A and B are shown apart, each in its own frame.
Chain A
């Protein structure tokens, strides 16, 4: 059934449809309405779950690790400073292999204060051993939460997953979302049944000290299981397509890239604008396409390496690593190491600034231009008020 809802509402409905058993939350803008919707559904009996209001995000994630050890399907949501406060517990969750799923309303981290959207908070958590899914629209948020559980709880994966939801642009914007039937979701997502579990009648010690003689091997297991998750994600996406009639291309969604001379790599909601503009420029005869990174961890190196045949590859980063460049740009470039095409980093959409169709058009035309005349500069801050009058 089609509902007109925000992405936060969609994320909460996904948690309900996934039959989440324990949700531990601490509110933070722009995630709070996910927690509020969950609280509503638990209090009015629509959703059977333990709803824990914690004293911090650090505690919320800690509580979920315990609940997950007992065998519960677990859920939380956070953003920005809340995600940063969770940092050490995020590494615990992945290190002790708890398949927690967490939408993150992607936002700036201060200071100075700014509550609006960008990817800096989630990019900062790139290395914590969580899978990272980036969503383009509200429908994909609902669908990706379900897919994330499917992949995370796979016995060959057993790693947590963040579902990145662009702050305000998606979290607070109403769009049409097809909410699937519970019976269909149950078919897709069987009950979480980990082994072993924390059981008072069969006591064991969990997550205790691992000495130098086996630490490397436990890390290696995470490394290989994260690598293996790529195939599980592709399968989960295909199976989702068979059951629900929607699928997203696995780790990278390619849009009109087949014959393209210039491809823009982009993650999140800005991809929608990029596709729209690519369509318009195609009518003019410009051969441009979009490769949307849906999954940043595990990194889709194989899919990205296939873009090496393109004359120009641009990468749009909604965050910046001071002293270097955009993280997505560097990773894309690394996956394409050895190719002789032209690569350029476009940075924009920071701190809630809109990524407009005009910005995207400028980027595509710039890519065509540097394809003919050579690279003008490595990094372009799109929309920067530099007095140049370029945008």
Chain B
């Protein structure tokens, strides 16, 4: 796309959306939500720093966007109901 420093944009920008970056590949542990235990408090959704907890409609159980979730574990740490466990990804 660029050949030399002269071709670079004046400032560092990218037009590509962060949605196209599959940061889920960085993950070592994956959060798994147990819908039996989940009480829909949405703490996980609120605390996720990467917008990787998805709540489609109010009242739905949250789910994980595994394409982007980096596996930081904040959701599991914040879950008061103990409904989220971090499971080792297969090597």
Q: What is the interface of chain A, defined by CB distance below 8 A to chain B?
A: 96-97, 155, 158, 195-196, 203-208, 210, 214, 217-218, 220-221
Bound form: Cα–Cα A305–B33 in Å? 69
Give the number of residues in B that approach A within 8 Å (Cβ atoms).
14
B5 touches A221 (CB 8 A): yes
Chain B's interface: helix, strand, loop or mixed, by majority?
A: loop
Q: Which one of B10, B11, B17 has the highest number of Cβ atoms from chain A below 10 Å of its Cβ?
A: B11
Rounded to whole Å, the gap between the CB of B25 and the closest CB of chain A is: 15
Bound Cα distance from A158 to B13, whole angstroms: 15
Closest to B18 in A: A205
- The 0/1 profile, CB within 8 Å of A marked 1, for residues 2-15 of chain B is 10110011111111
Q: Are A206 and B5 in contact (CB under 8 A)?
A: no
Q: Give the number of residue pairs across the A-B interface with Cβ within 8 Å.
A: 40
Asked if A206 contacts B15 (CB within 8 A), the reply is no
Closest to A216 in B: B5
**CB <8 Å contact, B8 and A97:** no
The answer to whether B14 and A204 touch across the interface, beta carbons within 8 angstroms, is yes
Report whether A214 and B14 are in contact in the complex, using a CB–CB cutoff of 8 Å: no
B49 CB to nearest chain A CB (Å): 16
Interchain CB contact under 8 A, A205 and B13: yes
Nearest-neighbour CB distance to chain B for A196, whole angstroms, equals 6
With known contacts A217-B4, A217-B5, A220-B5, A96–B11 Cβ distance under 8 A? yes
Distance in Å from the Cβ of B7 to the closest Cβ of chain A? 9
Please report the C-alpha to C-alpha distance between residue A195 and residue B11 in the assembled complex, in whole angstroms: 9
Which residues 1-59 in B have Cβ within 8 Å of A in the complex?
2, 4-5, 8-18
Pick the contact of B13: A155, A204, A221 (CB < 8 A).
A204
Cβ–Cβ contact A218 & B8, under 8 A: yes
| Contact assessment for A221 and B14 in the assembled complex, using a CB-CB cutoff below 8 Å | no
Q: Which residues of B contact A97 (CB under 8 A)?
A: 10-11
In the bound complex, CA of A267 to CA of B10 (Å): 32
Residue of B nearest to A217 (CB): B5
A196 in contact with B4 given A203-B17, A205-B16, A205-B18 (CB within 8 Å):
no
Decide if B14 touches A205 in the complex (CB within 8 Å): yes
Contact A206 B11 (CB under 8 A): yes
In the bound complex, residues from chain A placing their C-beta under 8 Å from that of B12 are 96, 206-208, 210, 218
- Given A217-B4, A221-B5, verify A206-B13 contact (CB < 8 Å): yes
Nearest opposing residue in chain B for A224, CB measure: B5
Partner of B2, one of A203, A206, A214: A214
CB-defined contacts of A96 to chain B, threshold 8 Å: 11-12
A210 CA / B5 CA spacing, docked (Å): 13
In the assembled complex, the CB of A41 is this many whole angstroms from the nearest CB of chain B, namely: 31
**15 additional contacts, CB 8 Å, given A205-B16, A206-B11, A206-B13?**
A96-B11, A97-B10, A97-B11, A195-B10, A196-B9, A203-B17, A204-B13, A204-B14, A205-B14, A205-B15, A206-B12, A207-B11, A214-B2, A217-B4, A221-B8
Provide the bound-state CA to CA distance between A155 and B10, in Å: 9
Verify B10–A217 contact, CB threshold 8 A.
no
Residues in B neighbouring A196, C-beta threshold 8 A: 9, 11, 13
